[in-house]
Amino acid sequence: MVLAVSESMNILKTKYANVVMVLILSAFLAITMIPTSAYAGSAGRKNTAIGLGAVAAYELIKGHTTAGLVLGAGTVYAAHRYNQVKSQENKAKAYKAAHKNTHKAAYRTVGHRVSVIRYTPAGRKYTAYKTVYKRQRV
């Protein structure tokens, strides 16, 4: 009887360990895969739209109208997103080209104190301080 309980506990521990490992692995994969899908460029979006369009046409030719219409709607949306991203890229490219050589050098004024030895009309020596300013390129 004791032997049966310990075997069932080992099986239970193994099942929980497997579940925990699967959860950890799926969480790791979810975290690492999220950023890659957020940076799709226009070329990838264009390929997606073309691929969806081809599959939609195939499904409609084969007589699967529901799947074909859903894929067709996905094609329209993918093409719309491609046009949006392409427009943004073109605007960014034009802005960069227009402002390529307009960078002005930035300067800051830096002051430091300098001691100057001076004499009074009576001939007494004293130290005066003045601030010297110099422009430095940033």
- Across the chain, mean pLDDT equals 79
Least confident of 5-19, 71-85, 121-135: 5-19
Residue 1's pLDDT is: 47
CA distances from 137 to 20, 99, 121 (A): 58, 21, 41
Strands, E, within the chain: which ranges? 107-119, 125-137
* 121 lies in some domain: yes
Residue 50's pLDDT is: 93
* 2 lies in some domain: no
Residue 121's pLDDT is: 86
Contacts of 15 (CB under 8 A, 6+ apart): none
Residue 104 is classified by DSSP as P
* 68 lies in some domain: no
63: left (phi over 0), alpha (psi -120 to 50) or beta: left
Q: How many domains does the chain have?
A: 1
* 130 lies in some domain: yes
What is the span of the domain harbouring residue 118? 107-137
SS3 128: strand
Least confident of 21-25, 31-35, 117-121: 31-35
* 116 lies in some domain: yes
* 92 lies in some domain: no
**Phi/psi at 105 (nearest 5 deg)?**
-70, 135
pTM to 2 decimal places: 0.47
Mean pLDDT of the region 14-42: 74
For the four alpha carbons of 34, 36, 42 and 44, in that order, the dihedral sign comes to negative
